A and B are shown apart, each in its own frame.
Chain A
Amino acid sequence: MRQWKIRSEVEGSDAEVKTKPTQLSPLPFRPPTSAIFDQMATDYIVGIDLGTTNSLVAYMQGDSPVVIPGEDGLNLVPSVVALDEKNQVLVGNAARRYLIETPERAVYSIKRLMGRGVEDIQDELKLFPFQLADDLQPGEVLRIKIGERTYTPPEISALVLRQLKRNAERFFGASVTQAVITVPAYFNDAQRQATKDAGRIAGLNVLRLVNEPTAASLAYGLDKKKHGIVVVYDLGGGTFDISILKLHDGIFEVIATNGDTHLGGDDIDNLLIAIALDDIRGDLGLDFRRDARHSGEAVQRIRQAVIEAKIALSSQPTAKLDVDLPGGKKYQREITLEVFEQMVQPIIERTVGPCKQALKDAGLKPEQIDDLVLVGGSTRIPKVRRLVQDLFGRVPHTDLNPDEVVALGAAVQANILGGGSEITQDMLLLDVTPLSLGIEVAGGVTDKIILRNSTVPASATQYYTTQVDGQTNVAIHVLQGERELARDCRSLARFDLKGVPPMVAGMPRIEVKFLIDANGILRVSAREQRSGKEAEIDVQPSYGLTDEQVENMLLESFDFAAEDFRQRQVIEARREADTILTALAKAKKNQAWPELTSEERRSVETLAKALLAVKDSDDYHAIREGIDALNQATMHLAELMMDTAVSTALKGKAMDDIDIEEGPQAGHPVAKADFE
C-alpha cells in the first residue's frame, strides 16, 4: 500500500501528482516547470471542509479567507449524493429532494462510514438508511448501494469533493488541482487515509489533512496578537472534537485533543426520529419500521421535520412538527424547549468525558483557559452552550460562523502551504496524533510506541529479530488506540517484513521505523541492519483501498460528460496561456530581453497580443495554437534567460547541485520538448 514506505526519496504529494487523470490530459504540453516559472504559477490551493452534513470550499483572498459559493449562490453544499433516473450524479442541494422522493437513490452522512469495516458499522446501519451492496465479500472495503450502482464511501465523498472543486473552478475560471482537506481531530489512520483517497479520486492532490478544530483556531487566531490557551469545542453533524491549543507568536501548538468520531447533530436527529416513529405507531397505528415500502420516505419526511424543529428551538421556546405521511395521514406534535433539552441531554452529556480527558492530558485546569471557541452547527443549541460554559467556566466566543470557520481555517493552511503571504508568514500549526500507536506483542498485548497527543510528525523505532533459523519473514501487527489489549484497539494493518537474509535465529536485527506524518497518517520503513538490506514491507491494510483501486476509481474516467471535458480543456488551455503571458511579462524585465534582435522581439509581441485576444474565447484550438506559436517564438529568449539564471545560481553552488529541470522537458523553460 502507499504511504507505508519512506525510502529516502519520493513520497507524499509528489507521488500523487499522477492522479491527474491521464484521460483528461491529452494535451502534450505541460506547463513550464522550471524554477523561473514556478514562482509565477498562480495555482489556486483551496481549503475544503468535508463535513458529515455540509461541505464548503474556501480560499485566501488577499488577507482574509472567504468561502466560495456554489452556482446556486449558497456557501454550504449539503453532503448528499443522489442518482437521478438516468443515473446522472447529483450533489448537494440538487440531491436533497431525492432523499424524500427516491430515498434508495440518495445517500447522506457518508462520513460516518469512512475508513470503517462492515463489523464496526452495525450501529450506523440501524440508525441510517445505508444499504450495503448485496455482493459484499468479507474483508472487502464497504460498498453502498445507490439505485442500481454501488460505491465505496471514499467514492461518495469524492463526488462531494468534485462538486466543491467544480464550484471553485467556476469561481476562478481556472482548474483547481490542489487542496487542503479537514478531518475530525479524532479520526484514526484508516479514516484519514480514506479521506485522502477521496481527494485523489476527485482529482485533487491533497497537500495536507488538517484537523477541524485546529483549522478553526487558525481562522480564529488569524489576528496574530492572540496569545494563550484556547479550547476549541467542535460539535458538528456527525463528529465531536475537543482540542486544547497554546497560541504563541503565530505558533498554534495543540497540547491535547480528544473526541468521538460518531457523535453529533445526526444523533439528535435520529433520537427525535425514533421518538416520532414510536408516537406514530402509538397514536396513528402506523408502524413504518415494519413497512418497508414506505419506511424510507416516511423516515426522510420526519427527519426533515425534526431537523427544522431542532433548528427552530435554538431561537424559540417551542416548535411544531407537521409531517405528511405516506398514505395520507398527518403527524403533528409540538415540542417545547424543555422537553427537547431533556431528550438530548444524554447525547450532549457524552461530550463531557472527552473534554475532561483532554484537560487532564494537557495538565490544565479550567481556570487556565483563556479563550473558548465553539465550532460546528450543533453548538448553536443553547443547551450545548450552557454545558460548555459550565465545563470551562468561560463564556464562549460566538462571533465566528460555526458552519464556516473550519473551511476558512483550511484556506489559511492552504495559503501557508502555498508559500504564505504577509499575514500568514509567521503562522505555523503544530498538531498532535489523537490516538496512541502500538504493536501487538506476546500475549495479545498492545505495546504503545507513540503516545497520543505527541506532536506530529513523530516517529518510533523498533527492533525485531527472527525466532527460527533461516527465517526470512517477520510479521508485525500495527494497532491504534488506548486499550491494553490488542483486540480492543483499532487494527491498522498487518505486515510482513520480507527478504530478511537467512541467518541463525536471533541474528538478524531488523530496524522498523514508524513515522506519523503531518497528516496524522502512518508510514513504515524497515531495514535489516546486519546486511544493510532494506526489508520489503507487504502491508495488508485492515481497512481501506489499495493504490490500484484508487487509480481505477478516478472519477473522471467513468463519469465525465463530454461537455465537461471540453470546458475543462478550455480552462486548462486558458490557464496555460495566462502562465505564459505572465512569464513573458516578467521575462521582458530580464536582462536577456534586450539581447534579442528587434525582429525577434516584434514577433514575440505580436504573438503575445494574438494569444491575449483569443485566450478568453471558448475556442480551445485557437488558444492552443496561440500558445504553441508563442512558445516557439520565445525559445531563444528562454535560453538566454536560462544562461543568466545558471550563471547567477552558480555563484556559491556546486555544479551537480543545480537542478535545472528533471524529466524530459529539460533544457527549455518555456516551450515543450520536441518529443511527445
Chain B
Amino acid sequence: MGAEPALSGSRRAPFGWAPGPSPHNQGGERAGRALALNFVMTHSESKSSLAIPGHAPAEATPSCWSCGTMRAVHFCTSCGKVQPPVPVDYFTFFGFPRKLNLDTAALEKEFYALSRKLHPDMFGQSDARERSWSLEQSSMLNDAYRTLKDPIKRTQYLLRLEGVELEEQSKQATEKARATGELKKQVVPPDLLEEVFELNMHLEELRMQKRMGEDDPALLEEIGKAKLALEEKYDVLFNELKTEWNNWDKSEDSGTADGTEADRRKIVDSMVDVLNRRNYIRNLLRDVNEAMEN
C-alpha cells in the first residue's frame, strides 16, 4: 500500500546502529536484509512462513496511522506514536545488521531507550488500541532483547532465520523416541568417543557407590579430572563459535561477491556442528554434576 519508501542513509532511525553507509548493492534474494534499518520494508522477501517468532513477511503499510508520515517498526519517528506491530526479525527490530558480533552494552542501551517508548506503563492513559499495540510491541522488544543478548540464543536465532530448524528437529526426534519407547540417541562427537565411554562407566560406578553409601575418593578425583577436561572443551568450542561469527559477519559485509551463498552455507553448517557438540558436552556436564551432588 502506498508508495514504496526510498530507503536511504538519511532515512535511518535517529537511534540505533544503522550500519555505516551501505556500499553494497543487495540484489535479488537478499534484498532488504543487510540493510538493517528499522523501517518497515514492504519489499522484503518472504521466506514463506517460517515458524520463527518475529519473522514473517512484512505486509503493513509504512505510513504512521496517526500522522501519515514515514514510520519506524515500533513508533513513528515523526510524531512518536506507537505503531501496530509488524512482523520483522529481532535484528531489524533493534535496527541492527544481521551480524553475530554484537555490542551488548549498546544493545542494553537501546533496550532501555525503546522500553521507555513502548512499555505499557507509558500508555496508561491512552486509548485501547494504542495500549494493545504497546503490549504487543513491548513483548516483542523483550523477546528480542532476551534472544539477542545471549550469545548462544542469538546464534540459534540467526540459524533459524537462515532456515535451520534446530529446535523442531530435536523436538521431533524427542517425540519420535518417546513414541517408540526408545531413548533418544545422541551422536557422540567422534573425538570424544573414548572419553565419554570411560566417563559413563565412572558415573555408573559412582551412582552405585552412592546407593550403597560408599565413598571412593580416587573415583571422585578421576571424575573431577574428566569434568575439568570437558569444561575446557566447552570453552574451546565457544571460541570456535566466535571464529564462525567472524566468518559470518565478514560474509554479511562482503555482500554479493562470487560464491558467497556456498560460503554462507558452509558457515551455517559449521555453526550447527559447533552448537551440537557444545550441547552434547553441556548435557554430559549436567549428568556429571547431578551424579556428584546426589
Contact B67 A515 (CB under 8 A): no
Q: Is A476 an interface residue when CB atoms closer than 8 A count as contact? A: no
Q: Is B38 an interface residue when CB atoms closer than 8 A count as contact? A: no
Give A429-465 as 1s and 0s: 1 = Cβ < 8 Å from B's Cβ atoms: 1100000000001110000000000111111110100
Residues of A within 8 A of B121 (CB): 208, 413, 416-417, 428-429, 518
Contact B67 A652 (CB under 8 A): yes
Residues of B within 8 A of A416 (CB): 121, 124
Say which residue of B51, B128, B140, B145 sits within 8 Å of A14 (CB atoms): B128
- The answer to whether A11 and B115 touch (CB under 8 A), given A463-B51, A652-B79, is no
Which of A2-10, A88-96, A618-626 forms contacts with chain B? Answer: A2-10
Contact B142 A9 (CB under 8 A): no
Q: How far is the CB of B223 from chain A (nearest CB, A)?
A: 23
Residues of B within 8 A of A488 (CB): none
With both beta carbons as reference points, the residue of chain A lying nearest to B49 in the complex is identified as: A529
Say which residue of B65, B125, B143 sits within 8 Å of A38 (CB atoms): B125
Q: Is A223 an interface residue when CB atoms closer than 8 A count as contact? A: no
Q: Is A365 an interface residue when CB atoms closer than 8 A count as contact? A: no
Contact B139 A653 (CB under 8 A): no
Give A221-252 as 1s and 0s: 1 = Cβ < 8 Å from B's Cβ atoms: 00000000000000000000000000011010
**Bound CA span A13–B132, Å:** 11
Give B33-62 as 1s and 0s: 1 = Cβ < 8 Å from A's Cβ atoms: 000000000000000010101000000000
Give B105-122 as 1s and 0s: 1 = Cβ < 8 Å from A's Cβ atoms: 000000010011001111
Residues of A within 8 A of B142 (CB): 454-458
With both beta carbons as reference points, the residue of chain A lying nearest to B51 in the complex is identified as: A463
**Bound CA span A458–B112, Å:** 16
Residues of A within 8 A of B179 (CB): 442
Residues of A within 8 A of B19 (CB): none
- The answer to whether A458 and B67 touch (CB under 8 A), given A249-B112, A419-B125, A652-B79, is no
Q: For window 528-582 of chain A, which residues contact chain B by CB distance below 8 Å?
A: 529
Q: How far is the CB of A209 from chain B (nearest CB, A)?
A: 12
Contact A457 B138 (CB under 8 A): yes
**Bound CA span A419–B124, Å:** 7
Contact A430 B128 (CB under 8 A): no
Contact A9 B128 (CB under 8 A): yes
Q: Is A12 an interface residue when CB atoms closer than 8 A count as contact? A: yes
Say which residue of B67, B136, B146 sits within 8 Å of A454 (CB atoms): B146
Contact B135 A517 (CB under 8 A): yes
Q: Is B184 an interface residue when CB atoms closer than 8 A count as contact? A: no
Give A249-266 as 1s and 0s: 1 = Cβ < 8 Å from B's Cβ atoms: 101000000000000000
Give A459-500 as 1s and 0s: 1 = Cβ < 8 Å from B's Cβ atoms: 111010000000000000000000000000000000000000
Residues of A within 8 A of B132 (CB): 6, 8-12
**Bound CA span A413–B119, Å:** 13
Q: Is A292 an interface residue when CB atoms closer than 8 A count as contact? A: no
Contact B68 A430 (CB under 8 A): no
**Bound CA span A623–B146, Å:** 55
Contact B124 A518 (CB under 8 A): no
Q: Is A207 an interface residue when CB atoms closer than 8 A count as contact? A: yes
Q: Is B278 an interface residue when CB atoms closer than 8 A count as contact? A: no
Contact A459 B53 (CB under 8 A): yes
Contact B67 A251 (CB under 8 A): no
Q: For window 86-129 of chain B, which residues contact chain A by CB distance below 8 Å?
A: 112, 115-116, 119-122, 124-125, 127-129
Q: Is A418 an interface residue when CB atoms closer than 8 A count as contact? A: yes
Q: How far is the CB of B174 from chain A (nearest CB, A)?
A: 9
**Bound CA span A184–B4, Å:** 50
Residues of B within 8 A of A418 (CB): 124-125
Q: Is A674 an interface residue when CB atoms closer than 8 A count as contact? A: no
**Bound CA span A29–B63, Å:** 38
Q: Is B74 an interface residue when CB atoms closer than 8 A count as contact? A: no
Contact B135 A518 (CB under 8 A): yes
Q: For window 509-533 of chain A, which residues contact chain B by CB distance below 8 Å?
A: 515-518, 529
Give A140-174 as 1s and 0s: 1 = Cβ < 8 Å from B's Cβ atoms: 00000000000000000000000000000000000
Residues of B within 8 A of A518 (CB): 119-121, 135, 138
With both beta carbons as reference points, the residue of chain B lying nearest to A662 in the complex is identified as: B127
With both beta carbons as reference points, the residue of chain A lying nearest to B139 in the complex is identified as: A457
Q: How far is the CB of B74 from chain A (nearest CB, A)?
A: 13
Q: Give chain A's interface secondary structure class.
A: mixed
Contact B128 A207 (CB under 8 A): no
Q: How far is the CB of A605 from chain B (nearest CB, A)?
A: 31
Q: Is A134 an interface residue when CB atoms closer than 8 A count as contact? A: no
Residues of B within 8 A of A207 (CB): 124
**Bound CA span A652–B120, Å:** 26
With both beta carbons as reference points, the residue of chain B lying nearest to A654 in the complex is identified as: B68
Q: How far is the CB of B46 from chain A (nearest CB, A)?
A: 14
Q: How far is the CB of A122 from chain B (nearest CB, A)?
A: 29
Residues of A within 8 A of B135 (CB): 6, 11-12, 457, 515, 517-518
With both beta carbons as reference points, the residue of chain B lying nearest to A417 in the complex is identified as: B124
**Bound CA span A363–B65, Å:** 42
**Bound CA span A430–B112, Å:** 9
Q: How far is the CB of A179 from chain B (nearest CB, A)?
A: 12
Residues of B within 8 A of A654 (CB): 68
Contact A659 B145 (CB under 8 A): no
Q: Is B66 an interface residue when CB atoms closer than 8 A count as contact? A: yes
- The answer to whether A515 and B139 touch (CB under 8 A), given A38-B125, A207-B124, A418-B124, is yes
With both beta carbons as reference points, the residue of chain A lying nearest to B122 in the complex is identified as: A428
Q: How far is the CB of B9 from chain A (nearest CB, A)?
A: 25
With both beta carbons as reference points, the residue of chain A lying nearest to B68 in the complex is identified as: A654
Residues of B within 8 A of A419 (CB): 124-125
Q: Is B131 an interface residue when CB atoms closer than 8 A count as contact? A: yes
Q: Is A657 an interface residue when CB atoms closer than 8 A count as contact? A: yes
Q: Is B210 an interface residue when CB atoms closer than 8 A count as contact? A: no
**Bound CA span A457–B85, Å:** 14
Q: How far is the CB of A532 from chain B (nearest CB, A)?
A: 12
**Bound CA span A12–B133, Å:** 12
**Bound CA span A634–B151, Å:** 63
Q: How far is the CB of A661 from chain B (nearest CB, A)?
A: 12
With both beta carbons as reference points, the residue of chain A lying nearest to B138 in the complex is identified as: A457
**Bound CA span A317–B128, Å:** 58
Residues of B within 8 A of A6 (CB): 132, 135-136
Contact B66 A657 (CB under 8 A): yes
**Bound CA span A529–B87, Å:** 15
**Bound CA span A14–B124, Å:** 11
Q: Is B175 an interface residue when CB atoms closer than 8 A count as contact? A: yes
Residues of B within 8 A of A652 (CB): 67-68, 79
**Bound CA span A529–B48, Å:** 12
Residues of A within 8 A of B115 (CB): 251, 428, 430
Q: How far is the CB of A459 from chain B (nearest CB, A)?
A: 4
Contact A248 B128 (CB under 8 A): no
Contact A461 B128 (CB under 8 A): no
Q: Is B11 an interface residue when CB atoms closer than 8 A count as contact? A: no
Residues of B within 8 A of A13 (CB): 131
Say which residue of B116, B127, B139 sits within 8 Å of A659 (CB atoms): B127
Residues of B within 8 A of A430 (CB): 115, 119
- The answer to whether A442 and B178 touch (CB under 8 A), given A459-B53, A461-B53, A518-B135, is yes
With both beta carbons as reference points, the residue of chain B lying nearest to A519 in the complex is identified as: B120
Contact B53 A443 (CB under 8 A): no
Residues of B within 8 A of A517 (CB): 120, 135
With both beta carbons as reference points, the residue of chain B lying nearest to A12 in the complex is identified as: B131
With both beta carbons as reference points, the residue of chain B lying nearest to A45 in the complex is identified as: B124
With both beta carbons as reference points, the residue of chain A lying nearest to B175 in the complex is identified as: A442
Residues of A within 8 A of B145 (CB): 455
Contact B119 A657 (CB under 8 A): no
**Bound CA span A460–B53, Å:** 7
Residues of B within 8 A of A417 (CB): 121, 124-125
With both beta carbons as reference points, the residue of chain B lying nearest to A432 in the complex is identified as: B142
The listed residue with most B CB atoms (<10 A of its CB), out of A428, A442, A455, is: A455
Can you sample 18 A-B contacts with CB below 8 Å?
A6-B136, A8-B132, A12-B135, A14-B128, A38-B125, A418-B125, A430-B119, A454-B146, A455-B142, A456-B142, A457-B120, A460-B143, A461-B51, A515-B135, A517-B135, A518-B121, A518-B135, A652-B68
The 6 closest A-B pairs by CB, nearest first: A417-B124, A457-B139, A459-B139, A455-B142, A14-B128, A10-B128
